[in-house]
Chain A
Amino acid sequence: DAKTTQPTSMDCAEGRAANLPCNHSTISGNEYVYWYRQIHSQGPQYIIHGLKNNETNEMASLIITEDRKSSTLILPHATLRDTAVYYCIVRGAGGYQKVTFGIGTKLQVIP
């Protein structure tokens, strides 16, 4: 799996958009970008994933650059409940792929 680089921590004001960047310059053509988050003392939660097109769901939007070497997860209106560690992971989608977690970004939403 390709490695990813994320900032260690970020702050965001409640109600504002949270933009979490991720670099994955060694991503290969068949690898997807996945985002998970882990709220304190809970299991990780899937957020979104994409290959090359931008994606949006009820939780977030994923913007992937044209060269696919970086991406940004956008939480459009951050709430205090969004305070968590966010993990950007690059992996293939086929088969039962194990997920390798990096350090992630600790997002603190501030009232």
Chain B
Amino acid sequence: GAVVSQHPSWVICKSGTSVKIECRSLDFQATTMFWYRQFPKQSLMLMATSNEGSKATYEQGVEKDKFLINHASLTLSTLTVTSAHPEDSSFYICSAPLSRRYNEQFFGPGTRLTVL
């Protein structure tokens, strides 16, 4: 089956630093990827849609200058949390649709971000 990976699986950083999270589709190409955020005991919340070769589309209330998304290739999207603060601590998950499987979404394993 299709596999989506994320790196790193967890990261701890100091307040004010930037953190980059990678999302890769391992055995298929994805012109579109999605980024979600999940706080403890809450559901996943869509942050943005990442589009290869063009600007990302952000959901209402998500700061595009704080959460930088770059979809540089058909298998890689990155999310950079700039000037991270403790309230950015969360579980970040990406997904990619597989066109040969009815555009079924395959999710990455998630990245746990803790900002001290």
Contacts and interface: CB of A to CB of B under 8 A. Distances in A.
B69 to A, nearest CB: 14
Interface residues of A, number: 22
A45 B112 CA distance: 18
A87 B44 CA distance: 10
B91 A102 contact: no
A42 B46 contact: no
B108 to A, nearest CB: 5
Contacts of B93: 43-44
Contacts of A101: 36, 43-46
B45 to A, nearest CB: 8
A96 B106 CA distance: 12
Specify the main secondary structure of chain A where it touches its partner: loop
Interface of A: 36, 38, 41-46, 49, 87, 93-104
Contacts of A46: 104-106
A104 B44 CA distance: 10
A46 B104 CA distance: 8
Q: Which 3 A-B pairs have the closest CB atoms?
A: A43-B107, A96-B32, A101-B44
Interface in B92-109: 93, 95, 97, 102-109
Interface string B24-50: 000000011010100000011110010
A93 B102 contact: yes
Nearest to A99: B105
Given A98-B34, A98-B49, 12 more contacts: A41-B110, A42-B109, A43-B93, A43-B107, A46-B105, A49-B104, A94-B103, A96-B97, A99-B34, A99-B95, A101-B43, A103-B43
A81 B70 CA distance: 36
Given A98-B34, A98-B49, A99-B95, A93 B103 contact: yes
A103 B106 CA distance: 19
A49 B98 CA distance: 15
Identify the interface centre among B31, B49, B97: most chain A CB within 10 Å of its CB: B97
B44 A44 contact: yes
A23 to B, nearest CB: 17
